[in-house]
Structure 1
Amino acid sequence: MSESIVVKTVEELKDAPEEYRDAVAKLVISHAINELYGAQVFDEPAIAYAPTPYAKWLTCRVAMEEYGHHVRFKQLGQQMGIAEERMVPGGGKRPLSIFEFPLKTWEEFVAIKLLADLAEILQVEDLLHCTFHPLRNLARATMPEERFHAQFGEDFSAELVKTPDGRARLQAAVDEYFPYLPSFFGGSKS
Structure 2
Amino acid sequence: MTEEMSLDSYLAQGGVLTNPMNVPPRYRAELMKLMTTFVDSELAGAAGFADVINAGPGIKERIAAAKIVLEKTDNANRVLKVMGEFGVDGDRYANHHPWTARLDRDADIGASRTDHDMRLAVFNYPLNGWSDAVVMNLLMGRAVAVQMAEFSMVSYQPLAEAFRAIAPIEARHAELAEEGLTKLVEGGNADGLQASVDYWWPRVAASFGAADSTKADSLKKMGLRKSTNAELRTRWEAEAKTVLDKLGLKAG
> Do Structure 1 and Structure 2 share a fold, with TM-score over 0.5?
yes
Residue 2 of structure 1, CA deviation: 4.3
Q: 1:109 aligns with which of 133, 139, 149?
A: 133
For 1:126 and 1:89, locate their aligned partners in 2 and report how far apart those are by CA, in whole Å: 27
Secondary structure of the 1:169 match is helix
Residue 20 of structure 2 contacts residue 85 of structure 2 at CA under 8 Å; is this kept in 1?
Answer: no
Comparing 86-95 with 51-60, greater Cα deviation is found at 86-95
Is 2:141–2:173's contact at 8 Å kept on the other side of the alignment? yes
Give the structure 2 partner of residue 34 of structure 1: 41
Separation in 2 of the partners of 1:86 and 1:179? 30
Q: Deviations over 1:95-120 (max 9, x none)?
A: 22101222121111111111011101
Moved over 6 A (4+): none
More helix by share: 1
In the other structure, the counterpart of 2:65 is 59
Question: How many residues are matched?
Answer: 185
Query: Which residue number corresponds to residue 7 of structure 1?
Result: 17
When residues 34 and 89 of structure 1 are mapped into structure 2, their CA distance, relative to the original with a 3 A threshold, is farther
Q: Distance in 2 between matches of 1:86 and 1:24?
A: 17
Which residue of 1 is the match for residue 87 of structure 2? 81
- The normalised TM-score by structure 1 is 0.87
The structure number with the bigger radius of gyration is: 2
* Matches of 2:62 and 2:116, distance apart in 1: 33
Structure 2 counterpart SS, 1:181: helix
**Matched-pair identity in %:** 24
RMSD of aligned alpha carbons: 2.1
Q: Structure 1 residue 27: deviation in Å?
A: 1.1
Aligned pair in 2 of structure 1 residues 185, 74: CA closer, same or farther (>3 Å)?
same
Gaps of 5+ in 1: none
Letter in 1 for 2:77: V
Amino acid at match of 1:7: L
The equivalent residue for 1:18 is 25
**Which residue matches 1:68?**
74
Q: Which runs of 5+ in 2 are unaligned?
A: 1-7, 99-114, 216-252
Are 2:220 and 1:183 equivalent residues in the alignment? no
